Amino acid sequence: MHRLGFIVSEGFQLMALSTQAVFEFANLVTEDKFYDFACYSVTGGDVMSSSGVRVSTLPLASCTQADTWLVTGASDPIVAPAETEVLKFLRRAERHARRIAGLCTGGFALAEAGLLDGRRATTHWLFARDLQARHPEVQVDDDRIFIVDGPLWTSAGMTAALDLALAMVEADLGQDVARAVAHKLVMPQRRTGGQSQHSELLELAPKTDRIQQALDYARAHLKQALSVEELAEVAHLSPRQFSRVFTAETGQSPAKAIEGLRLEAARLMIEQSRHPLEIVARESGFRDRRHLREVFVRNFGVPPQVTRRGARLGS
């Protein structure tokens, strides 16, 4: 049995505990109680989340050992220092636990305890600069879903913790179990640790279904030329109307938005596969490898090969 301990404190973000569903479904998939988990706080008893939901906890002192500790974060605009007892506990736990994770801003507690000194880590992009400023000895990467550096795991905000938990399941029980868990949880994709925290479609956020349909069509047909006329037909608008409405709803021209979707698709392929860049360029709609590199460097400041190396280090 693999014992999991979730450390919570007043005002914690309830979303962090949604990761328990990943481990629960891993037990269901394997038809065995491989994972056993409980919530802990300094004194035990009920602890209130930021949304007002109370969670029953055990006192930290009552748990002599766990295989994995997961420290939850909060949604406050300023991350408060962790409780002294929690920091002392984490330093002791590092000597015995198989791994320790900081979920979202829970990574701040790991940094305060000195566990992340000299290590790579991530957190919610809103708080990454603060984490780096407070702890310059930590190598903070503000654009990763999660990072594994030895026994220390850190994740970006909110739903990224689910991806971290799923990666733990894969490490413990294998790829097939992790895939089955993701399927049961209706997760649309399994995101690797090296994947960006940002989504181009989320940034565009069209207001009407017709523009959303055009974007969905574009993402599914990136290998094609994707002219304004073609997209306008999908949206049932004239090309002139489509360009005007598209720009008004997304803040970008159709051409700029399509380039962003192609870049996102290319980056995902670069991070998650070993396909040569010629194939990545073709599948994401760029003319050739040189064109991909030009657009990549212009937008991200680094060539595709650097992104691929970073993703392998972070996964």
Angle at 7 between CA 184 and CA 93, to 5 degrees: 110
List the 68-71 sheet strands across, edge first.
Answer: 45-48, 54-59, 35-41, 2-7, 68-71, 99-102, 152-155, 146-149
Domains and CATH numbers, the chain: 2-184 (3.40.50.880), 200-314 (1.10.10.60)
Torsions phi, psi of 138, nearest 5?
-95, 135
Is 146 within 8 Å of 164 (Cβ atoms)? yes
pLDDT digits (tens, 9 = 90+) for 83-122: 999 999 999 999 999 999 999 999 999 999 999 999 999 9
User: Residue 248: pLDDT above 80?
Assistant: yes
pLDDT digits (tens, 9 = 90+) for 181-227: 999 998 855 555 555 555 555 567 788 899 989 998 998 899 999 99
Confidence (pLDDT) at 75: 79
End-to-end Cα distance, the chain: 25
* Marked catalytic residue, from 104, 182, 234, 258: 104
Six-digit token pair at 276? 């040569």
Amino acid, res. 206: P
- The percentage of residues in the chain with a pLDDT greater than 90, rounded to a whole number, is 70
Is 202 within 8 Å of 212 (Cβ atoms)? no
pLDDT digits (tens, 9 = 90+) for 259-296: 999 998 898 888 778 899 999 999 999 999 999 999 99
Helix (H) or strand (E) holding 249: helix 239-250
Is 68 within 8 Å of 4 (Cβ atoms)? yes
Six-digit token pair at 216? 């969905």
Amino acid, res. 191: R
DSSP conformational letter for 10: T
The span from the CA of 156 to the CA of 146, in Å, is 6
What pTM did the predictor assign? 0.67
Is 212 within 8 Å of 238 (Cβ atoms)? no
pLDDT digits (tens, 9 = 90+) for 133-156: 999 999 998 878 899 999 999 999
User: Residue 2: pLDDT above 60?
Assistant: yes
- Based on the residue annotation, tell me whether 63 is a catalytic residue of this protein: no
